[in-house]
Structure 1
Amino acid sequence: MHFDTLALQATHQPDPATGAVIPPIYLSTTFARNEAYDLSGPYLYSRANNPNREALEKALAALDGGAVAMAFGSGQAAAMTLFQALRPGDHVVIAADAYYGTPALLEQVFHPWGLTYTKVDMTDLADVRRAIHENTRVVWTETPSNPMLRITDLQAVADLAHSVGAICVCDNTWATPVLQQPLSLGCDVVMHSTTKYLSGHSDVLGGALVFRQDDELAQRVRLLQSLSGAVPAPFDCWLVMRGIKTLAVRIRAQTETAGQVARFLQTHPQVEAVHYPGLESHPSFVLASRQMQSPGAMLSVQIKGGAPEALLFAGRLTLFARATSLGGVESLIEHRASVEGPNTATPVNLLRVSIGLEYAQDLIADLAQALDSLA
């Protein structure tokens, strides 16, 4: 089944009680019992389960080709719950340029608890191999990476993880299951911030984990999900389900525009570098072409000069909202180093760009006038 059809079939679950094509939002936190104190259905309390969350989790598992999925209140909650499923003394290998909040979780929350971790360049397989130890339990990948858009060879890294009995996790937020299927490339778990492309409208916070097998780890994560209560509200689940219906067409349109924008930027004299895996100049262009259906709608651009020039350029744009996050229908631009703070490894002249659904030539004209003003 083509992904476009799958996305609609996975989210098309008419209400059995009324026949409503779009199912209702079940806001109830609790569910009644009969005179014999038996539950009338499979739901007890919304922290443990809810019809909207169950529907979303089934859809997410179907989209990624997984056996089971769990939805959370944010992408960070999803990552935290996976790390909570480990034990003190376990070791994690993580990409050095992963989303800054993920290593922050390891350093500030789980390292004092007893987890150890090693940051590596995931594009260097020898570096990954050296970092894996006998007590390594998770190799955490992110491809394309945030914000440098580096590409990890998922099959090769998964093989290295499996050589010591570890699992390979891929943060697939930027690619989504439309563009990349990590479970089919050897990964064991896929993580999403559903806040981004899956919901697609910058109006809901959420996260998810999708497991290739409904194994002991998946069952432990399910237990922690229920016990910790870091779950999305029913309305949040409903909104993500709504977003999934248009996911494929949105991403295709945004990717087409992102390619045009990237090609324009790389020719402008005020641009130092463009990071986009759809450009043949990208160091992992061949790998990205093999591993991804298309290069996606995220790119980063480095402006000649430093932070002042990058900020001046961003400030002169009129069609790009200067805001954190990505994956919505509106184009966003962000000075990543300012967001990450004084310990950032991101170049200070770099701006991360999330391409929306605006007309490509309008965005390019806006970028051109802002760049030309720097000359």
Structure 2
Amino acid sequence: MKNFSNYTDFDTKENLAFDSKVVHGALGTEPLTGAVSMPIFQAATFRHPEFGQTTGFAYSRLENPTRLELERTMAILEGGIRGFAFSSGQAANMAVFSLLEPGDHIILSDDIYGGTFRIIGDVFGKYGIEHTYVDMSDLDAVQAAIQKNTKMFFIETPTNPMMKVADIHAVSEIAKGIGALTVVDNTFLTPYFQKPLTLGADIVTHSSTKYLGGHNDTISGIVVVKDDEEIAEKINIHIKSHGSQLAPLDSWLVLRGIKTLAVRMDKHNANAKKVAHWLREQKKVEKVYYVGFEDHKDYDVTLKQTTGFGGMISFTVDSEETVMKILKNVDMIMFAESLGGTETLITYPTTQTHEDTPEDVKEKLGITRSFLRMSVGIENPDDIIADLDRAMNG
């Protein structure tokens, strides 16, 4: 009986261009049958041929062929040695933060997803993990936040939802100088537009619910480790022990989504650029946050470390009344949480994604009651603009 957990055909994919890698994945086809689409191995346990022999799989909590294909594919796309697929982006971050020991200190982006804010403060805080939030685009502030027990830097770039950009290479060099790890949440740009591990980061995380899956139909998370086998094994022990691995069907859905990642990201990118420029011209819009503007303060950093701007926009309007009018009247655009899917979604961060962030922190960051975040989908951009125009100005 063949042991397809040990197949190494995926190594040959390294020579392909990125938009070919996403289509063909690691193994690409199932090696025993030749199935072009990796099957959903909906099995809890696996039969052994005899004592001392194995197919490479024993129990799906430990390893599953469908999940393994996703994990290998993500390791290839991000340029790491090993990938792990989790039941959510939150579960992925929990595993990464579990690398810290009681008494350790972590520095995080100040403008960070509310769920991450909750994990650090409410969960790991009571386990003795200290933390400091910093504007990661300000390297002097990053340096000033370092303590003797700083062991990890956790970067969102661009940040959610204020679209700040951190210099991944520069922060990684600071971290290396004190023997700390650099972790980058790469959800917004994906490895199609940004490859943190090649810029110096040690670990990449994703809410693969978003652009990687791309269709608003599954919850999932990804961790990829650059080159440290010890860290990879610690993540492996965490996922086995906590049982937070991604199920076979969800693994297959993310794999299917990844096949169109390149073409979708190009479309998101082009649409967001057009919508962002239109928003800037509207009388009821006071400010637009979009990393693709040439006057964005971190535009040069973006050009240096990415190949695209992504599909995320945030904007402040003239009043809470205008916010409510937009959220009530959008039609094709959907008022819903999440991001990164084919459909354009608009979100009210102050009561949705950042509900658990203290009011004073939100106010300081600019997440006010007249602030909206939009994930620009892959529809015709003129239809997106027409819907926004009617909802806001009609």
Shorter-chain-normalised TM-score: which range? over 0.9
One-letter identity of the residue aligned with 2:22: A
Q: 2:234 aligns with which of 199, 220, 224?
A: 220
User: What's 1:25 paired with?
Assistant: 40
CA distance in 2, matches of 1:259, 1:11: 32
Q: Does 1:111 align with 2:113?
A: no
Q: How big is the shift at 1:11?
A: 5.1
DSSP 3-state at the match of 2:350: helix
One-letter identity of the residue aligned with 2:91: A
Q: How big is the shift at 1:114?
A: 1.0
DSSP 3-state at the match of 1:112: helix
CA distance in 2, matches of 1:372, 1:240: 38
CA distance in 1, matches of 2:355, 2:192: 32
One-letter identity of the residue aligned with 2:168: L
Question: Would you say the 8 A contact 2:322–2:392 is kept in 1?
Answer: no
Structure 1 segment 126-205 matched on structure 2, within 5 A: 126-205=140-219
Structure 1 segment 241-256 matched on structure 2, within 5 A: 241-256=255-270
The CA deviation string for residues 270-301 of structure 1, in whole angstroms up to 9 with x for no partner, is 10000001112322122112221011111011
One-letter identity of the residue aligned with 1:177: P
Greater CA drift, 235-244 or 281-290: 281-290
CA distance in 1, matches of 2:29, 2:269: 31
User: What's 1:314 paired with?
Assistant: 327
Greater CA drift, 330-339 or 312-321: 312-321
User: What's 1:294 paired with?
Assistant: 308
Q: Does 1:60 align with 2:74?
A: yes
User: What's 2:339 paired with?
Assistant: 326
Q: How big is the shift at 1:39?
A: 4.4
Q: How big is the shift at 1:319?
A: 1.4
Question: Would you say the 8 A contact 2:27–2:69 is kept in 1?
Answer: no
Greater CA drift, 189-198 or 289-298: 289-298
DSSP 3-state at the match of 1:301: strand
Question: Would you say the 8 A contact 1:176–1:198 is kept in 2?
Answer: yes
- TM superposition score normalised by structure 1: 0.96
Q: How big is the shift at 1:75?
A: 0.4
Question: Would you say the 8 A contact 1:31–1:39 is kept in 2?
Answer: no
The CA deviation string for residues 113-159 of structure 1, in whole angstroms up to 9 with x for no partner, is 11111111111111110111221111000001000111111111111
Question: Would you say the 8 A contact 1:132–1:161 is kept in 2?
Answer: no
Q: How big is the shift at 1:104?
A: 0.9
User: What's 2:377 paired with?
Assistant: 356
Report how many residues are paired. Answer: 371
Q: How big is the shift at 1:332?
A: 0.2
Unaligned 5+ runs, structure 2: 1-15
Q: 1:267 aligns with which of 281, 287, 294?
A: 281
One-letter identity of the residue aligned with 1:286: D
Structure 1 segment 4-43 matched on structure 2, within 5 A: 4-10=19-25, 13-34=28-49, 36-43=50-57
One-letter identity of the residue aligned with 1:15: E
One-letter identity of the residue aligned with 2:147: H
User: What's 1:124 paired with?
Assistant: 138
Unaligned 5+ runs, structure 1: none
Q: Does 1:279 align with 2:293?
A: yes
Greater CA drift, 312-321 or 47-56: 312-321
CA distance in 1, matches of 2:328, 2:176: 47
CA distance in 2, matches of 1:12, 1:255: 29
CA distance in 2, matches of 1:341, 1:354: 18
- TM superposition score normalised by structure 2: 0.92
CA distance in 2, matches of 1:275, 1:12: 40
The CA deviation string for residues 64-101 of structure 1, in whole angstroms up to 9 with x for no partner, is 11111111100000000111122111111001101111
One-letter identity of the residue aligned with 2:143: R
Q: Does 1:304 align with 2:304?
A: no
CA distance in 2, matches of 1:86, 1:42: 31
One-letter identity of the residue aligned with 2:57: Y
Question: Would you say the 8 A contact 1:85–1:224 is kept in 2?
Answer: no
CA distance in 2, matches of 1:154, 1:40: 42
CA distance in 1, matches of 2:253, 2:350: 31
CA distance in 1, matches of 2:46, 2:76: 27
One-letter identity of the residue aligned with 2:348: H
Q: Kindly, what percent of the aligned residue pairs are identical?
A: 39
DSSP 3-state at the match of 1:59: helix
CA distance in 1, matches of 2:327, 2:296: 23
User: What's 2:61 paired with?
Assistant: 47
Question: Would you say the 8 A contact 2:114–2:355 is kept in 1?
Answer: no
